[in-house]
């Protein structure tokens, strides 16, 4: 017989060791699809490492890819802490991006230093609204936010296509469904000459640090964790649960909106409907690998960005499909889930009790 028993106190070594181990195991598992594609896994791993760390340019590409993942990872981590299942970061990202190009491409005659802060603020606000609406439906009508945020992703993407063929379309764009470019003074400045890594990364790191501090040290962070761990007890302790949910919804949505701002105003300069290759969904994996800790989100985002950039580069060199990266990312999520189980429980072999 097998018995499952909770551990008295899950140790700290598990909290760090399991995500690291999950990452390693998921990469090791990648050997199977690599072999299936007829590639030598060792050569492929070599190509991946070269693709991420082989040059300053490669590292810059990795950091560029990690930037939106830190934002969406934080968005998921904070919401999940309060057991608010925000699966809608993908849509909120596009809301933020639409606000950014709407205000930043010369629609309003704002010049100089004001434009960039305004873009950041409105992008965050648009994302926040995008999460507060489903939270309202949850609190007021009991409509499950998992389903509503997922469906909103599709609605927002179609809305985006409508905007890109309508009010947001670049009049100089020869009819392509893309927005006018963000004005120069509205762009997040690059961090290095001739490299794509931009100051959106700094913004993401600062927000991660603030989130870490608020979560661990502030009354707000305490309330958030209390609501997530035991809603009834939190309510009993006099915490306004609805208010806490709306606040975390706004913050989570705003962070996802900033991912869109950062991609538009830091990297692309204009908006198309393929701005995000699923950054919102990948953010959920980032948050889970991070054990929902903001500092962990930064590390996990760097790992996942390395997988994507490394796999892209390996794919170009060896002709293996770059869907390999998505495969590794999804396997790392499943591994960390199982690992979390091993951290919380131990499996004991017992003899069947005699009746």
Partner 1 sequence: MMDLLNILLSDSFWAASLRIATPLIFGVLGALICERAGVLNLGIEGIFVVGAMCGWMAVWLGAGLWGGVLFAALAGAFFGLLHAILTVPLGLSQHVSGLGITLFATSVSYYTYRTALPNVSSPPRIEPFQALDIPVLSDLPFLGPVLFQQTALTWLALLMVGLVWYVMNRTALGVAIKAVGDNPDSVDAQGLSVYGLRMGAIVAGSALMALGGAFLTMSAFDAFFFGMVNGRGWVCIALVIFASWRPGKALLGALLFGAFDALQVRLQTEMGALVPGQVFLMAPYILSIIALVIAARSADYPRALLTPWFKGQR
Q: Which 66-85 positions form the footprint of partner 1 (CB under 8 A)?
A: 85
Q: Which two tokens stand for residue 219?
A: 């009354």
Minimum separation from the CB atom of position 121 to partner 1 (A): 27
Lay out the site mask for partner 1 across 285-324 (x = CB under 8 A, - = otherwise).
Answer: x--x------------------------------xxx-xx
CA distance 209 to 205: 6
Minimum separation from the CB atom of position 21 to partner 1 (A): 17
> Which is closer to partner 1, CB of 199 or CB of 330?
330
Lay out the site mask for partner 1 across 1-40 (x = CB under 8 A, - = otherwise).
Answer: --xx----------------------------x--xx---
Q: Name the residue with tokens 């170009």.
A: 316
CA distance 159 to 153: 10
Q: Name the residue with tokens 């925000």.
A: 86
CA distance 105 to 183: 5
Please name the residues in contact with 6: beta carbons below 8 A apart, sequence gap of 6 or more: 344, 345
What backbone phi and psi angles, to 5 degrees, belong to 241? -65, -45
CA distance 226 to 315: 45
> Which is closer to partner 1, CB of 141 or CB of 238?
141
CA distance 341 to 347: 10
User: In this structure, how many other beta carbons lie within 10 angstroms of the beta carbon of residue 225?
Assistant: 16
Q: Which of 146, 241, 317, 343 binds partner 1 (CB under 8 A)?
A: 146
DSSP, res 57: H
> Which is closer to partner 1, CB of 58 or CB of 77?
77
Q: Which of 281, 301, 307, 313 binds partner 1 (CB under 8 A)?
A: 281
Q: Give the residues lining the site for partner 1 (CB under 8 A).
A: 3-4, 33, 36-37, 85, 87, 137, 141-144, 146-148, 150-155, 158-159, 161-162, 165-166, 281, 284-285, 288, 319-321, 323-324, 326-327, 329-331, 333-334, 337-338, 340-341
């Amino acid at each position: 017989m097998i018995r499952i028993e909770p551990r008295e106190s899950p140790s700290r070594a598990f909290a760090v060791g399991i995500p690291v181990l999950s990452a390693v195991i998921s990469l090791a598992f990648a050997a199977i699809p690599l072999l299936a594609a007829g590639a030598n896994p060792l050569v492929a791993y070599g190509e991946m490492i070269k693709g991420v760390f082989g040059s300053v340019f490669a590292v810059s590409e990795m950091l560029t890819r990690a930037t939106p993942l830190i934002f969406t990872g934080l968005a998921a981590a904070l919401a999940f802490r309060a057991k608010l299942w925000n699966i809608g970061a993908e849509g909120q990202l596009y809301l933020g991006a639409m606000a950014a190009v709407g205000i930043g491409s010369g629609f309003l005659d704002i010049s100089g230093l004001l434009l960039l802060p305004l873009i950041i603020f409105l992008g965050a606000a648009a994302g926040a609204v995008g999460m507060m609406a489903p939270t309202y439906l949850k609190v007021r009508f009991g409509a499950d936010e998992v389903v509503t945020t997922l469906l909103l992703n599709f609605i927002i993407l179609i809305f985006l296509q409508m905007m890109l063929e309508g009010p947001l379309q670049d009049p100089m764009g020869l009819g392509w469904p893309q927005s006018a470019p963000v004005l120069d003074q509205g762009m997040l400045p690059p961090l290095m000459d001739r490299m794509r890594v931009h100051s959106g990364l700094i913004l993401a790191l600062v927000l991660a640090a603030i989130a870490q501090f608020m979560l661990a040290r502030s009354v707000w962070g305490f309330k958030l964790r209390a609501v997530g761990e035991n809603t009834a007890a939190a309510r009993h302790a006099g915490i306004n649960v609805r208010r806490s949910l709306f606040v975390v919804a706004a913050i989570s949505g705003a962070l996802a909106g900033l991912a869109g701002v950062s991609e538009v105003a830091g990297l692309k300069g204009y908006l198309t409907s393929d701005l995000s290759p699923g950054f919102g969904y990948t953010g959920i994996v980032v948050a889970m690998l991070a054990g929902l800790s903001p500092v962990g989100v930064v590390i996990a985002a760097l790992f996942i960005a390395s997988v994507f950039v490394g796999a892209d580069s390996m794919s170009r060199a060896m002709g293996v499909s770059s869907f390999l990266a998505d495969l590794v990312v999804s396997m790392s999520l499943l591994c960390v889930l199982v690992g979390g189980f091993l951290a919380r429980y131990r499996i004991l072999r017992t003899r069947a009790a005699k009746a």
